[in-house]
Amino acid sequence: MTLISTISEPQSTLAEALSNRPVPKIRIAAFCETTETHDMVALAAIDRRMMRANIDFQMGGTKTAIRQYSNAPTPDLILLERQVPGDLLLEELGRLAEVCDAGTRVLVIGASNDIRFYRTLMDRGISDYLVSPTDAPTLITAIGRLYEGADAQKLGRTCAFIGAKGGVGSSTIAHNVASTLADRLQYDVILADMDLPFGTAGLDFNIDSAQGMVEALESGDKLDELLFERLLGKCSERLRMLVAPATLERPYDLGEEDVDAFVDMARTSASHVVLDMPHLWSSWARRMLVAADDVVVTAVPDLANMRNTKSLVEALRKARPNDAPPRLVLNQIGVPKRPEIKIADFVKAVGLDPLVAIPFDPKPFGTAANNGQMIFDVAARSAKPFAAISEALLESSGGKRRGGKGWGFLSRLSPRRRSA
Ligand SMILES: Nc1ncnc2c1ncn2[C@@H]1O[C@H](COP(=O)(O)OP(=O)(O)OP(=O)(O)O)[C@@H](O)[C@H]1O
Ligand SMILES: [Mg+2]
C-alpha cells in the first residue's frame, strides 16, 4: 500500500496571527459598551493563551469602572471600551487614573483611528489602544505584548501528540517527527515523554537516562536553566529528550500547575517541543493539549477510534476557539484481513481531513521499535509521512524553511513590526 500524501488544507491564518506567548498570571477587568465587544472579550477569555490570567468582564463604561474602584483595589489591567469623542474620552481617563493603583495598566478600545489621538493617549500613560471593531486574536496579542518585556526570549512551539486510542502509534509518530525536525531539518528540538509509567521514548532512542521527566515536573519553582539542562538526555546534535521513568515503583499524579513551569522552561530552550502524551484525559493532560500550539491526533480506522477522534476534535475545537483544529494522522491503514472504516467515511464523521494516512508497515516499524531506531534509519522510504507532518507543523508556525537553523530573522519580528 502506498502512502496517501498530504491531504489537508493549510491551517487557518487566524492562529498564525496570534502570538504563542501565554499571558501571565494577571488580573484583568473589562468594561464593555457594546455586546459585540463583550462577546469578543468572552471569546478571548477562554483562549489558551489566557489560561493563567483571571479575567472579569461586564457591560459598562468609565463611570462603572470609577464607581467600582473608588473603594477597591484595581486589577493589573483594565480594558475599557469607550466610543465617545476624543476630548471626552481623555477627560474620563483622567478621572479613572485618579482611582487606579500604581501599576494598573489601561487598554482602551475606541472608535477613532487617528494616529495623533493614539499618540496623545500613549503620552497620557494609556498602555495600548485598539480601534473597534476588533477581534479576540488582536486583543490577546495586544495584552501579551504589554507583558512581554523588552528582553523577552523567543518561545519555541509546542506540539502535543495523542492517540485516539491506546497503541495506535502516536508515540512512534511523535518520536519520528521529533527526529525529523532535529536531524533532517536542523531545528533544536526537545522531546518530552509525558507517559510517565509506560513511555517508550527511552527505548525508541536507546537512551538510558535517569528520571529526567519526573524531576522536571516535580521541581516546580526550583526548575532553572541549569537544572533543566542537566535533566535533558542528548539523542543527537539537535535532539534532546526528557525520558519517562517507565517504572511502576510509585504512582504519578500530576496537577495542572505542575506542567506549566516545565513547558515554559522547555520553550525557552528549543525551537520545537514535542510532547508525547499518553492516551489520557486527566486535568493536566487536557490542560497540556489545550495549551499546545499544535495538537496531532493519531487514529487507526476503526469504530472506537472514529468516535474518540470525533470527541477529541470537538472538545479541542471548543476549548481552542481562536486556533486551527487539531491535525489528524490516520495510521496503520491496510492491516491484512482486518476490516476497516474507509478513509472517506472516517473523514466525514470526524469533520477533519487527515494530514497523512500511514500504511500498516510492520517490517520497518517493528524493526525500528525493537532495535531502538528511527524509521528513517531502517527504511528511509517509509519515513516520508514524518517529513510531511514536520513540514505541516513548520508551516503552521509560519516558519517553513527546509534546512533552516533554529530561529529565523522573520520569526524574530513581533507581529506588530511584521505588519508595519
Ligand atoms: N504504521 C505502522 N505500521 C506498523 N506498525 C506500527 C505502525 N505505527 C505504529 N506501529 C507499531 O505499533 C505499536 C504501538 O505504537 P506506539 O507505542 O507508538 O503507540 P501509542 O499510540 O503511543 O501507544 P500507547 O497508547 O501505549 O501510548 C509499536 O510497536 C509500533 O511500532
Ligand atoms: Mg504512546
Identical fold at 22-146 and 153-419?
yes
Query: Ligand 1 atom closest to Cα of 166?
Result: 25
DSSP assignment string, 137-206: HHHHHHHHHHTT-TTPPPPPEEEEEEESSTTSSHHHHHHHHHHIIIIIT---EEEEE--TTT--HHHHTT
The per-residue pLDDT for 85 is 92
Which three cell numbers mark 216?
522536571
Ligand nearest the Cα atom of residue 276:
2
The per-residue pLDDT for 402 is 43
The beta-strand segments (E) located in 33-168 are: 54-59, 77-82, 105-110, 128-131, 157-163
How many angstroms from the chain centroid is the CA of residue 104? 28
CATH 3.40.50.300 correct for 153-419: yes
CB of 163 shorter than 6 A to ligand 1: yes
CB of 176 shorter than 6 A to ligand 1: no
CB of 195 shorter than 6 A to ligand 1: yes
The per-residue pLDDT for 295 is 98
Q: Give the C-alpha separation, 44 to 34, whole Å.
A: 15
Centre of ligand 2 to C-alpha 278, Å, is: 5
Query: Ligand 1 atom closest to Cα of 369?
Result: 31
CB of 358 shorter than 6 A to ligand 1: yes
CB of 171 shorter than 6 A to ligand 1: yes
Ligand nearest the Cα atom of residue 204:
1
The per-residue pLDDT for 399 is 54
Indicate the domain borders of the chain: 22-146, 153-419
Q: Give the C-alpha separation, 212 to 227, whole Å.
A: 10
DSSP assignment string, 282-304: -HHHHHHHHHSSEEEEEE-SSHH
| Segments of the chain with pLDDT less than 50 | 1-16, 400-420
Query: Ligand 1 atom closest to Cα of 279?
Result: 25
The per-residue pLDDT for 150 is 66
SS3 226: helix
Ligand nearest the Cα atom of residue 369:
1
Question: What CATH class has 22-146?
Answer: alpha beta
CB of 308 shorter than 6 A to ligand 1: no
Instruction: Identify the DSSP state of 4.
Output: B
CB of 386 shorter than 6 A to ligand 1: no
Centre of ligand 2 to C-alpha 237, Å, is: 24
274, 190 contact by CB (below 8 A): yes
The per-residue pLDDT for 398 is 66
Ligand nearest the Cα atom of residue 358:
1
Residue 216, phi-psi category: left (phi > 0), alpha (psi -120 to 50), beta (remainder): alpha
The torsion angles phi and psi of 311, rounded to 5 degrees, stand at -65, -45
CB of 23 shorter than 6 A to ligand 1: no
The per-residue pLDDT for 208 is 77
Q: Is the dihedral of CA 75, 81, 82, 86 positive or negative?
A: positive
Q: Which residue owns the Cα nearest ligand 1 atom 16? A: 169
The per-residue pLDDT for 210 is 61
Ligand 1 probe mutation, 165, 168, 203, 275, most atoms within 8 A of CB: 168
The per-residue pLDDT for 219 is 87
The per-residue pLDDT for 239 is 97
Centre of ligand 1 to C-alpha 303, Å, is: 18
The per-residue pLDDT for 3 is 44
The per-residue pLDDT for 21 is 85
Q: Is 366 exposed, middle or buried (0-12, 13-18, 19+ CB in 10 A)?
A: exposed
Query: Ligand 1 atom closest to Cα of 360?
Result: 3
The per-residue pLDDT for 374 is 97
Centre of ligand 2 to C-alpha 204, Å, is: 11
Q: What residue type is assigned to position 145 of the chain? A: R
The per-residue pLDDT for 44 is 96
Instruction: Identify the DSSP state of 274.
Output: E
In this structure, the number of other CB atoms found within 10 A of the CB of residue 336 comes to: 6
Ligand nearest the Cα atom of residue 172:
1
Query: Ligand 1 atom closest to Cα of 195?
Result: 27
